Amino acid sequence: MSPKFSGRPVRRTVAAAATVALLVPLAACGSDDDSDGKKDKAGKDVSLTVLAASSLTDVFATAEKAYEKEHPGTKITVSAAGSQELAAQVKQGAPADVLVTADTKTMDGLKGETGEPTVIAKNRLVIATREGNPEKVEGLKDLGGSDLKVVLADDTVPVGRYSKQVLDKQGVHVKPVSKEANVRSVLSKVELGEADAGIVYRTDAATAPDKVDAVEIPDAQNAVASYPAATLKGSKNSAAAAAFVKWLSTPEAQKMLRDAGFQKP
């Protein structure tokens, strides 16, 4: 998320010209862009659309700038949404080049549409509360309180499935005031005071330290979210897309993810 010819006998020059004529069509049969994804076959700049899970919004904003600086001629556009929304876009044939989801289940459901996925990061859940944690939420069991307004992501969303998994494991029954389409909407409800608490990724709570508090969930009670990245088979810039996916595993990109709170793959 840049020879000139000396004089030769006529017969030899003609032969050389014929050889060049044969090689030109072969070169034209190569990939639609160069090996490092900087230019397409016509030497034009390359634009890549990256569909990314909502929880990657901030870190990918940083990553796209770094990638463009490192790869002049490549423009990265990140489109962030819930993983289930991104999957629907891919199935509908939306023009895009790379997909990064917040779970392997969603990616596995698109095997016919993607290249081989690579897990680039992992994440964990926390309970986000209003600033100062006025309701004194200490853990998952507190979310079952009848007086507590809790917001969760919908069960079709990765973070919603992870939330249900950890709550069920602890035998906690929650009646959410709403179920949201992505993790950022859950966070927003808590930030705005429309909910007392919600379950989000650790990295999302970290984006709003002055607006929410994060209550840690012990590892034994938590769930691990994996983030696979893959090229899309419908991409018109396949080499550039592959180069970006490969770059996400480089030390530079991995440092950005660690700095944002994501865990190692």
Binding residues for molybdate: 55, 83, 183, 201
- Tell which phi-psi region holds residue 174, choosing left (phi > 0), alpha (psi between -120 and 50) or beta: beta
User: How many residues make up the chain in this entry?
Assistant: 265
Distance CA 216, CA 86 (A): 29
- Other Cβ atoms less than 10 A from the Cβ of 132: the count is 9
Residues of each annotated binding site? 55, 83, 183, 201
Give the strand pairing for 98-100 and 224-231. antiparallel
HSE (side-chain half, CA atoms, 13 Å) at 97: 24
Give the strand pairing for 46-53 and 98-100. parallel
Q: What are φ and ψ of residue 25, in 5° steps?
A: -60, -35
